[in-house]
Amino acid sequence: MFDQGLNINEAAKKLNVSTRTIRRHIKAGKIKAELIKGSFGEEYRILELPPQFDPNAELEEELADGQPIDISAPDGNGLVQGMGLIRELQEKNLALAAQLGAAAERIRHLESQIKLLAPPPSVKVAKESWWRRFQSVFTGHRRGLSDASPAAQASEEST
């Protein structure tokens, strides 16, 4: 498959960018690609990625030469800094994992407290229907007063 070159998706994965970025670079002439006939129509094939876009190209060339890489050198070909960065990221990862565990435990605790506050699903809470609440806004009284007899209402008004 590499004899035919990389398609846009493969090039994007290799460079760790989006496919739209690859298409933009092809259109701008930064990446050379050939338009070939594929199984679903025409598609671009990238025969060679320019070294300025490939972050691993320099390291791959040094490894291909067969020369040992001196990681104790001051520049260390970036490997010393890379190893330090990896250690730092691992420490941050462990700290974040601990925070995540604490947050998950706090969520479980809060969920258990909420379950204690909520009534069990088997208990039906009597709720006034929406139209009764709507009606009470206009009539000025709730269900208890409307069920009373007119005589009882008149006696309440006189007192």
Per-chain mean pLDDT for the chain: 76
Instruction: Give the pair of three-digit tokens for residue 26.
Output: 């092809």
Indicate if 51 and 86 belong to the same structural domain. no
pLDDT of residue 96: 92
- Tens of pLDDT, residue by residue over 1-15, are 445 788 899 988 888
Q: Whole domain around residue 21: which residue ranges?
A: 8-65
Q: Is the dihedral of CA 72, 74, 76, 78 positive or negative?
A: positive
* Res 145: pLDDT: 47
Residues 85 and 109 grouped into a single domain: yes
User: What does the block give as tokens for 148?
Assistant: 């009373």
Nearest to 132 by CA among 121, 124, 144: 144
Say if residue 23 is in the same domain as residue 60. yes
Does residue 13 share a domain with residue 54? yes
Per residue in 30-84, pLDDT (tens digit) is 898 888 888 888 888 988 887 777 655 555 565 555 655 555 555 555 677 778 8
52 and 85 housed in the same domain: no
Residue 26 sits in the same domain as residue 61: yes
Q: Structure pTM?
A: 0.36
Contact 57, 51 (CB under 8 A): yes
Domain count, the chain: 2
Which is nearest to 47 in space by CA: 34, 60, 29? Answer: 34
Which contacts (CB < 8 Å, 24+ apart) does range 11-17 have?
11/46, 11/49, 14/49, 14/54, 15/49, 15/53, 15/54, 15/55, 16/55
Query: Distance between CA 79 and CA 81 in Å, rounded?
Result: 5
Same domain flag for 61 and 23 = yes
**67 compared with 101, residue with greater pLDDT:** 101
pLDDT band of 100, cuts 50, 70, 90:
very high
Check residue 123 and give its pLDDT. 65
In a domain, 124, yes or no: no
Residues 56 and 12 both lie in one domain = yes
Give the pLDDT of residue 107: 94
Assigned token pair, 72: 């104790």
Q: Do 86 and 59 fall into the same domain?
A: no
- What pLDDT is stored for residue 103 in this prediction? 93
Task: Give mean pLDDT, residues 77-97.
Answer: 83
Q: Are 13 and 61 found together in one domain?
A: yes
- Answer whether residue 157 shows pLDDT above 90: no
